[in-house]
Amino acid sequence: MPATARAFWLRSPGEGEIRSVTLAEPGPDDVVVRTLFSGVSRGTESLVFRGGVPPSQYTAMRAPFQEGDFPAPVKYGYLAVGVVESGPLLGRTVFCLHPHQTRFVVPATAVTPVPDAVPGARAVLAGTVETAVNALWDAAPLVGDRIAVVGAGMVGCSVAAVLAGIPGVRVELVDPEPSRASVAAALGVGFAAPDDAVGDCDLVVHASATDAGLARSLELLAHEGEVVELSWYGDRPVSVPLGEAFHAKRLTIRSSQVGTVSPRRARRGYSDRMALAMRLLADPRFDVLVSGECAFDDLPALMSGEPSGLCVRVLYGET
């Protein structure tokens, strides 16, 4: 009799459910993973949950082990940590870009062993820290740069945490939510509300997914400064203020997207990027990015609520 598992599916925009799924028969090069934790990436997953993926991006937005199609029904997600129960890497804790599911079968090449120095509960952040690594490969910050990160969500905070390790940089996390000040302090960077942010920046990383955030990012730049745009807006139109000082100051907006390894690091592959993200996660400062937990069975209710906090860690218990 085929093995089964339970998975979170988006039944229709705004409605999630837990379904029973049949697992594929594992081959000799596959691993069977029992999930310990997964992470909810509230920005992208909330956009998918409300049905906000534009048809032109259905292919580009597919997660590695997604089932179904946008807008729904679809099984979507990409922050899973579990233990290998069968196949290569038997007994190892691994990370995989897999949707929320109690057990899954994937090729062994699709999982990344979690280093001993990284708790499995923290490793759910690996996909987000990988995004931050790629963004900074695109941004190429220099020693002593003046940098603002606009938007203190999961991605913005991960970017700020990595930037804090570059000697001599001035890093300020910018967000309208005052509670993010304590997160910034834990990460070792400055904090400001948008109106109070320090300008004359060489680089601004924008991750707020708002028009106002992008406009403020441009205002904070010094002459010939650059905004690296990490926000993804889905089907929402965006107003970009390309008048005012945009041309006079010779400003640049550069997109960054984790689906492609930064061309500025062409010698590196996806596995190199993920391995670096894992090494960075040995730093306990990243624990502050997990702002809540929920049981797997409570995922439909969680996703139906208003997005808040940073990463929500999903607990699977004995599955």
pLDDT of amino acid 137: 95
pLDDT of amino acid 319: 52
Per residue in 143-161, pLDDT tens? 999 999 999 999 999 999 9
CB 120 within 8 A of CB 40: no
- Assign 236 a pLDDT band (cuts: 50, 70, 90): confident
Q: What tokens appear for 197 in the block?
A: 């942010």
Say if residue 10's pLDDT is above 90: yes
pLDDT of amino acid 237: 87
Say if residue 131's pLDDT is above 90: yes
pLDDT of amino acid 32: 98
Which structural domains are found in the chain, ordered by start?
A: 4-122+285-315 (3.90.180.10), 129-265 (3.40.50.720)
Share above pLDDT 90 across residues of the chain, in percent, rounded to a whole number: 83
